[in-house]
């Protein structure tokens, strides 16, 4: 069943000349993992804001079309009510710390205090969310004393504790070192395996290949390609339009005409697929 429906979304920021999103139609099924890729300025972040209600409630401007989660449209709800439908986590972990709390535990409870959750239930939900993302041992630390990866997991937990139907992740690992990224991605994978519906903007093609059920490629505000990770990520169109593509795909594509990549083999995205293909092409 489709839990998220975007119908004919066109959106233009205030004081700008051209729309950032043009005629986007999209459905996301319950429990699905949808990855969004695209070059800079393709409208990826705006798409995230639109799903999580910041367009039109936070960013004004001109929005046409409808966003619907579980039968409710964004414009029928207030921003603070929408948090139970879609939760947004974005790049910079530091800016996602509220600054109003002195410990990680309090930080995660912040959203529940805002929405008036009773104390007993608040503690239960915070404990549960922290266990899920594996940050229970950080609970008494100051959010500002943590590493980037830890801060991002705190930010993720603070959103999860609101129990949104959809988790929207806007390049959650782009400002992290490799260890931090792995910590965060592992948590996201666990959440997805437990049935969470996820929409994630991501640049690391190898991760997308191992995570996502479906990929959309945004280009200049429109959906250019849509399909399984294998279909989209190895499409020749991506390279032409300046998308970042997996280096394994690039190598295999150039190896093809030289007879070094088996012609019947799909282009690889991950290291394992590349190793597999190249070992088959050897006499």
Partner 1 sequence: MRERLSFYIPRQSPVHRLNPLTKILITFTIIIMAFFSPWYWTAPLLIVFVIFPMSVIAKVGREFLFAAARLLPVVGFIFVMQALFLPGGRTILWQFGFLKVTLENLMAAFLVAMRIFTMVSSFILFLLTTHPSELMSDLTRRKLPSTFSYVIISTLQIIPQMQAKANTIISAQRSRGMDTQGSFTKRIGALFPLVGPLVFGSLVEVEERAIAIEARGFSSTLPKTSLHEIPDTRLDRSIRWLMLILILGTFASKLWLS
List residues binding partner 1 (CB under 8 A).
52, 54, 58, 78-81, 83, 87-88, 90, 92, 94-102, 105-106, 109-119, 122-123, 142, 144-145, 155, 158-159, 162
Place of tokens 């959106």: 11
Which of 41, 99 has the CB closer to partner 1?
Answer: 99
Task: Name the minimum Å distance from CB 28 to partner 1.
Answer: 19
- 271-281 and 247-255 helices cross at what angle (nearest 10)? 20
With beta carbons less than 8 A apart as the criterion, state whether 277 and 269 touch. no
Closest approach of partner 1 to the CB of residue 79, in Å: 6
For partner 1, the closer of residues 80 and 190 by Cβ is 80
When the beta carbons of 200 and 209 are compared against partner 1, the nearer one is 200
Q: Can you list the positions of beta strands (E) in 84-219?
A: 86-89, 166-170, 197-201, 214-219
Q: Which is nearer to partner 1, 94 or 255 (CB)?
A: 94
Minimum separation from the CB atom of position 102 to partner 1 (A): 6
Q: How far is the CB of 54 from partner 1 (least distance, A)?
A: 6
Question: What are the angstrom distances between the C-alpha of 263 and each of 95, 100, 230, 247?
Answer: 48, 58, 16, 18
CB of 13 to partner 1, least distance (A): 13
Report the residue number, 78 or 190, with the smaller CB distance to partner 1.
78
CA atoms of 74 and 202, how far apart (whole Å) = 24
Judged by beta carbon, residue 84 or residue 260, the one nearer partner 1 is 84
CA–CA–CA angle 14, 170, 157 (5° rounding) = 120
Distance of closest approach, residue 81 Cβ to partner 1, in angstroms: 8
Q: What is the DSSP letter of 268?
A: P
The CA distance from 21 to 9, in Å, is 7
């Amino acid at each position: 069943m489709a839990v998220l429906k975007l119908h004919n979304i066109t959106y233009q920021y205030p004081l700008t000349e051209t729309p950032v999103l043009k005629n986007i139609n999209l459905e996301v099924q319950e429990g699905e993992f949808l990855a969004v890729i695209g070059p800079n300025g393709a409208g990826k972040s705006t798409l995230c804001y639109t799903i999580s209600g910041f367009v039109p409630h936070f960013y004004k401007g001109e929005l046409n079309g409808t966003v619907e989660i579980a039968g409710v449209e964004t414009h029928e709800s207030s921003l603070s009510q929408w948090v139970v439908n879609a939760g947004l986590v974005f790049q910079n972990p530091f800016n996602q710390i509220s600054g109003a709390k002195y410990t990680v535990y309090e930080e995660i409870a912040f959203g529940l205090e805002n929405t008036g959750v009773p104390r007993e239930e608040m503690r239960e939900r915070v404990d549960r969310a922290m266990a899920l993302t594996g940050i229970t041992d950080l609970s008494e630390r100051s959010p500002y004393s943590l590493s980037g990866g830890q801060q991002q997991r705190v930010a993720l937990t603070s959103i999860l504790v609101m129990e949104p139907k959809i988790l929207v992740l806007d390049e959650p690992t782009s400002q992290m070192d490799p260890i931090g990224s792995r910590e965060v991605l592992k948590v996201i994978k666990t959440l997805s395996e437990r049935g969470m519906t996820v929409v994630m903007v991501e640049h690391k093609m190898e991760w997308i290949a191992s995570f996502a059920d479906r990929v959309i490629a945004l280009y200049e505000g429109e959906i250019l390609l849509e399909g399984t990770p294998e279909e989209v990520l190895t499409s020749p169109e991506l390279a032409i339009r300046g998308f970042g593509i997996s280096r394994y795909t690039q190598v295999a594509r150039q190896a093809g005409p030289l007879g070094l990549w088996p012609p019947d083999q799909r282009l690889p995205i991950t290291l394992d697929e590349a190793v597999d293909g190249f070992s088959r092409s050897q006499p």
